Chains A and B, each alone.
Chain A
């Protein structure tokens, strides 16, 4: 009993240290700067109102960067939504996804029809957590700025219409760690937080998803060269 508790405490301590180390490393490589456009970071300093941060997804480091850019109090309540196929299971990835970042793991293949990702996310919001969500569903390895959004963001917005949906543009991380490379190169990155949106009364799925994509794309500083 005590031994189990001791190991649990050890694991939690290791997770906390690892989290600090990962965040420090991310800052050393990217000097990440949070830019707030249309959202006051101090409006809800304790993070009492759950939010959904939805961002572009080009690299495995994306949620680390968004999380590192948040003020510490908000960061502690924010859980990335991640694919169980990659971040689940045991080993190092499981430790980083589960213990360090407390990721909400969802089954992207829907192999078990009983597990409903939207219900899982809504449940986490109900418990007071904020979420980091990548509505493209998978890493964007193309030259397009964004892949078409999957419908998850719409269903979540319909299930919890009062929750703020905050667009977050992650700038440059795809250059730091491009497709197929495993050594990051140090380049400055920014995470740009935009004004929150909500599902309008009677808004159709496609219209809402197009609006959400537009809001995210509008945060790009230099659309013409991808920077």
Chain B
């Protein structure tokens, strides 16, 4: 293992400072407005902040663990997300072997391909090979009821939870001249900007939000929250240019793209939740819901961020 880059330590320390500040604000709010836990919004805020500590500690340990740590962390996130997504599909017992294949073959193979750095197969394994092979497994069982719905949902689940999510650790494989050994900072940049954008949209929305942006999909998202959150996250992204191979302007543009994809990713995943009549994807992360509730925006922005960076900065 190579010694962690000082920029990485700076990023982790910075996130720690932000969380300390958030915890302090949460503590004051609770003392002032909700001493006996009567204000549900403040209790939820504090539950979220506590969960953030755990998530940040897990991410930091993974980053310090290098390639192995990052791959294991995101493979686990994919597993947990796929578990949540498949639960809401129409997959029946005729699809049992298809599901076994999805969890115990497709997911490990996709992450193994990142581990050995085989980009060619990594980028087509699920969209081509799995897309063609998995429906064959389901068809062999002869259950035709809802067949197209079932196989389409399972493919969607794999695309979102495994294929798209795996683009985050795949950033480690990009070969960017002058940026060697620092690729983990690209992951930190992506995750920090996406998550800050979510948090800032929430904060701006709570402070000045008036006009709902998509009342049918996500009643809590407002125009004010969206504009304020994305603009401030874009500015922060520009300010974080030093940890990336980008110039400040490029970092800001990347931040804007990430933020937009993250926002609309959240809307898409909300539409699925509304369709299935659930409020959250799961209950594993206290205050936040399930893994997909936290990962939806990362999952949508990661492949776009990966390909933009690869196309314009990488040597292939």
**What residues of chain A have their CB less than 8 Å away from a CB belonging to chain B?**
31, 33, 172, 174-175, 178-179, 181, 183, 185-188, 222, 225
* Bound CA span A175–B95, Å: 10
* Bound CA span A118–B57, Å: 52
Whether the Cβ atoms of A185 and B96 lie closer than 8 Å is: yes
Whether the Cβ atoms of A175 and B91 lie closer than 8 Å is: yes
Also in contact, A179 and B93, with CB within 8 A (given A31-B284, A185-B100, A186-B79): yes
Whether the Cβ atoms of B87 and A188 lie closer than 8 Å is: yes
For chain B, what secondary structure do more than half of its interface residues adopt (helix, strand, loop), or is it mixed? helix
Give min CB distance, B75 to chain A, whole Å: 13
Whether the Cβ atoms of A187 and B282 lie closer than 8 Å is: no
Give min CB distance, A2 to chain B, whole Å: 45
- Nearest residue (CB) in A for B80 is A31
B12 within 8 A of A: no
By a CB distance below 8 angstroms, the chain B residues around A181 are 93, 96
Partner of B86, one of A31, A33, A183, A187: A187
* Bound CA span A50–B92, Å: 37
By a CB distance below 8 angstroms, the chain A residues around B92 are 175
Please list 23 pairs of residues, one from A and one from B, whose beta carbons are closer than 8 Å in the complex, sorted by A's number.
A31-B282, A31-B284, A33-B283, A174-B93, A175-B91, A175-B93, A181-B93, A183-B100, A183-B104, A185-B86, A185-B96, A185-B99, A185-B100, A186-B82, A186-B83, A186-B86, A187-B83, A187-B86, A187-B87, A188-B84, A188-B87, A188-B282, A222-B277
Residue interface mask B63-91, A partner, CB < 8 A = 1: 00000000000000001101110110011
Whether the Cβ atoms of A172 and B87 lie closer than 8 Å is: yes
B115 within 8 A of A: no
B147 within 8 A of A: no
Count B interface residues, CB 8 Å.
Answer: 20
Name which of B90, B91, B92, B96 has the most chain A CB atoms within 10 A of its CB.
B96
Within 8 A of A (CB), among B132-155: none
**What residues of chain B have their CB less than 8 Å away from a CB belonging to chain A?**
79-80, 82-84, 86-87, 90-93, 96, 99-100, 103-104, 277, 282-284
- Nearest residue (CB) in A for B89 is A187
By a CB distance below 8 angstroms, the chain A residues around B91 are 175
Partner of A188, one of B83, B90, B93, B103: B83
By a CB distance below 8 angstroms, the chain B residues around A188 are 83-84, 87, 282
* Bound CA span A179–B141, Å: 14
Whether the Cβ atoms of B83 and A178 lie closer than 8 Å is: no
In order of increasing CB-CB distance, the 4 nearest A-B pairs are A178-B93, A185-B99, A186-B83, A188-B87
Give min CB distance, A188 to chain B, whole Å: 4
- Nearest residue (CB) in A for B94 is A178
- Nearest residue (CB) in B for A29 is B83
Whether the Cβ atoms of B282 and A185 lie closer than 8 Å is: no
* Bound CA span A174–B104, Å: 19
Give min CB distance, A80 to chain B, whole Å: 24
- Nearest residue (CB) in A for B91 is A175
* Bound CA span A33–B93, Å: 22
By a CB distance below 8 angstroms, the chain A residues around B79 are 186
* Bound CA span A102–B103, Å: 33
By a CB distance below 8 angstroms, the chain B residues around A175 are 91-93
Give min CB distance, A204 to chain B, whole Å: 37
* Bound CA span A178–B91, Å: 12
- Nearest residue (CB) in B for A33 is B283
